[in-house]
Amino acid sequence: MTPQEILSAIPRLRALVAGDICLDRWCRYDPRLTEPSRETGLDRIAVVATECTPGAGGTVASNLAALGCGRVAVLGTLGDDGHGYELRAALDRRGIDHSLMVTAPGQTFTYTKLINTYTEVEDLGRVDFVTFPPPPEVEQEVLRRLEAAAPQFDVILVSDQMETAAGAVVTPRMRELLERLAKHFPDLLIWVDSRMHIEQFRGLVLKPNEREAREACERLGLGGPDYAALRQATASPLVMVTHGGDGVTLATEAGLEHVPTRRVEHPVDICGAGDSFSAGAALALRAGATAREAALFGHLVASVTIMKPGTGTASPAEVLAAARRMEEA
């Protein structure tokens, strides 16, 4: 399929992003206003402007919506707090359905990024509001909603982004349910992006980056990067290992295939590149593209978003323009 054919099919698709849905707070601070606190003596960080956007799985959802996906919904947890309110508002602004989200005790998973207003560089440590696996009654409700909603969608993108050993919304029970759903609904594409647990999913399409795949192989005792063995250990029909600007490795039952891509020079911000790749490649695959075509389409989407500050998105027109530039180069 060509990029135009894929884009023409996307409006007919329905996508659910399940897992860690967080809030990104982009806080611009003015270093000229830095002065010691009278109470502590520590220098204050003077934030002068804040922009809120969906983060983690919310970034994937934003990319799905920007590509014109017919229905985009998110399923996860959030807190009954100000950050939860801001997350719902940010999702509303993008037309993303958050009715499946479950309110849980505690705070909303949030990334607070501090950006120098003069240099536009994130030059101070990020402040993370982390969450942990939900209590049993919340986990049960998340699983109930996931199982009930699954038949309504063509693709489920799993976002397992919390960087703690225990993870957060994507628990062992959710992984077991996803495996059962994949068996029960063979036309449902379940696509997984997991920072620390990719080898614990079974029977699903997996999208680790090079580092995540290497670390998963080490945890499995494979002695080094072995993508074919990783695919076999996880019973995955397809593993897509991304290598940044150096292409994608496909691992299928037929073997390994490297899909070269054209490196984008001088990217503005690579934050969220993997999320935009996942959105594009998963939709392309569900639209009927081959794994190779899906990988190339995902790269096209990411090539647009990395030229924007923050976690940008790509419109169909921007994707087609990027495809023309690739052909002319």
The secondary element (H helix, E strand) that includes residue 56 is strand 47-56
| Three-state secondary structure call for residue 18 | strand
Give pLDDT < 70 ranges for the chain: 329
Within-domain flag for 115: no
Within-domain flag for 49: no
As given in the structure block, the two tokens for residue 19 are 């897992």
Q: What pLDDT score does 244 carry?
A: 85
What are the residues facing 252 on neighbouring strands? Answer: 255
Parent domain of 221: 3-21+55-109+131-328
Please name the residues in contact with 28: beta carbons below 8 A apart, sequence gap of 6 or more: 47, 48, 49, 50, 115, 116, 117
Within-domain flag for 182: yes
Instruction: Provide the whole-model pTM.
Output: 0.94
Which residue type occupies 247? G
Which residue type occupies 232? Q
Within-domain flag for 29: no
Within-domain flag for 254: yes
Within-domain flag for 212: yes
Please name the residues in contact with 277: beta carbons below 8 A apart, sequence gap of 6 or more: 207, 242, 298, 299, 301, 302
Q: What pLDDT score does 310 carry?
A: 72
Within-domain flag for 33: no
For residue range 39-93, what is the model confidence (pLDDT) as tens digits?
999 999 999 999 999 999 999 999 999 999 999 999 999 999 999 999 999 999 9
Q: What pLDDT score does 43 carry?
A: 92
Q: Report how far apart, in Å, the C-alpha atoms of 25 and of each of 1, 87, 197, 276, 289 are.
A: 37, 10, 26, 19, 35
Q: Please return the burial class of 220, using the count of CB atoms within 10 Å of its CB with bins 0-12, 13-18 and 19+.
A: middle
Q: Please return the burial class of 73, using the count of CB atoms within 10 Å of its CB with bins 0-12, 13-18 and 19+.
A: buried
Within-domain flag for 255: yes
Q: Residue 156 maps to which CATH number? A: 3.40.1190.20
Provide the domain count of the chain.
1
Overall residue count recorded for the chain in this entry: 329
Q: What pLDDT score does 329 carry?
A: 66
As given in the structure block, the two tokens for residue 261 are 């891509």
The sign of the dihedral angle between the CA atoms of 86, 317, 248, 14 is: positive
Please name the residues in contact with 282: beta carbons below 8 A apart, sequence gap of 6 or more: 15, 155, 157, 189, 191, 205, 207, 294, 298
